[in-house]
Amino acid sequence: MPASQPPLPRSDIVTRLRAAGCVFAEDEAQLLISAARTPAELAAMVAQRAAGLPLEHVVGWAEFCGLRIAVDRQVFVPRRRTEFLVGHAIALARQASAACAEGAVVVDLCCGSGAAGAAVAAALGERIELHAADIDPAAVRCARRNLAASVQVHEGDLYDPLPAALRDRVDVLIANVPYVPTGEVGLLPPEARIYEQRVALDGGADGLDVLRRVTAAAPLWLAPGGHLLAETSEQQAPQAAGILARGGLIPRVASSSEMNATVVIGTRQAGCRRFRAGS
Ligand SMILES: C[S@@+](CC[C@H](N)C(=O)[O-])C[C@H]1O[C@@H](n2cnc3c(N)ncnc32)[C@H](O)[C@@H]1O
């Protein structure tokens, strides 16, 4: 729809969005005007956004690492701070890829829309073997839309659906698991609390239960010298690093105050492979 002829004057849209509590009402109005194909669609989009639906669910996509990622209703909206984790994942995958002619093996566990895996794939091109997995069927469907047909997207609980052939071979294990403590889920903004699935947010009593489960099995899947990366809050980071250490990984914490992001990285000791083909 031409932005020059909106059926609703732009100023009215801004006023409506602002009244609904949208902090970036001007930017959002512009995005809705350019996304709507018809005047009726624009009116519907403005109404949905004013009612609280996340902007990304209204337009059907989110910008992430310079990519346009499709985000279906109910599916977790990739957060900009996760670009920090992805930056580390790309650097580690590049190192692994440079060290091995076959390219790096990357797994995006708890993939949601598949945004993290898509960004790593965009950065490394064909030099990775990428797998993604999520327990939520809606997320799996969405990830399949965002990831190339060559990427295997698996449905199931954590590692359960991954092919056994990946054991001992994963160079970079991205696990942006849910990490909100159960008692704090109710304090999240309505966009998350109402429109995203609880399974995408709730990390158990201290927010670290899913990370504990991911870490416990990580040494079985990581290649020697391979890395597990997980986002946490700043407060959780010391405890999360302890979980990685107790899981047999060498932990480190990276943070960015600019992006309000904290990532824990656990590295498996370089050494002998645990499984060998044919053994
Ligand atoms: C915080 S969201 C992150 C999604 C995506 N990685 C991103 O960064 O946008 C967590 C995701 O973990 C998935 N999840 C939660 N528990 C899971 C489990 N036990 N096994 C697999 N996926 C799980 C949720 O469905 C959700 O998509």
Q: Which of 82, 130, 199 maximizes ligand 1 atoms within 8 Å of its Cβ, making it the mutation to test the pocket?
A: 199
Ligand 1 proximity of 135 Cβ (cutoff 6 Å): yes
Closest-lying ligand 1 atom to the alpha carbon of residue 197: 25
Nearest to 54 by CA among 247, 208, 189, 238: 189
What DSSP line would sit under 135-160, residue for residue? S-HHHHHHHHHHS-TTSEEEESSTTT
**pLDDT tens-digit profile of 40-65?**
999 999 999 999 999 999 999 999 99
**pLDDT tens-digit profile of 247-265?**
999 999 999 999 999 999 9
pLDDT-based confidence at 275, cuts 50/70/90? Answer: very low
Report which protein residue has its CA nearest ligand 1's atom 10: 200
Q: Which of 76, 107, 142, 259 maximizes ligand 1 atoms within 8 Å of its Cβ, making it the mutation to test the pocket?
A: 76
What does the pLDDT read at residue 71? 98
Ligand 1 proximity of 192 Cβ (cutoff 6 Å): no
Between the CA of 34 and the centroid of ligand 1 the distance, in Å, is: 30
Q: Which residues 6+ apart lie within 8 Å of 51 measured at CB?
A: 20
What does the pLDDT read at residue 103? 87
What does the pLDDT read at residue 5? 55
Rounded CA separation 15/66 (Å): 29
**DSSP assignment letter at 179:** -
pLDDT-based confidence at 4, cuts 50/70/90? Answer: low
pLDDT at residue 122 is higher than 70: yes
Average pLDDT over residues 190-194: 94
Q: For strand 222-232 and strand 61-64, is the pairing parallel, antiparallel, or unpaired?
A: unpaired
Kindly report the average pLDDT of the chain as a whole number: 94
Report which protein residue has its CA nearest ligand 1's atom 13: 110
Is residue 170 within 8 A of residue 223, CB to CB? The reply is: yes
Between the CA of 113 and the centroid of ligand 1 the distance, in Å, is: 9
Ligand 1 proximity of 253 Cβ (cutoff 6 Å): no
Rounded CA separation 25/105 (Å): 42
SS3 labels along 31-69 = HHHHHCCCHHHHHHHHHHHHCCCCHHHHHCEEEECCEEE
pLDDT-based confidence at 276, cuts 50/70/90? Answer: very low
Q: pTM value?
A: 0.93
pLDDT-based confidence at 277, cuts 50/70/90? Answer: very low
Ligand 1 proximity of 199 Cβ (cutoff 6 Å): yes
Between the CA of 177 and the centroid of ligand 1 the distance, in Å, is: 5
Ligand 1 proximity of 136 Cβ (cutoff 6 Å): yes
Between the CA of 243 and the centroid of ligand 1 the distance, in Å, is: 19
What does the pLDDT read at residue 278? 39
CB atoms within 10 A of CB 150: 9
Q: For strand 250-256 and strand 261-267, is the pairing parallel, antiparallel, or unpaired?
A: antiparallel
What does the pLDDT read at residue 219? 97
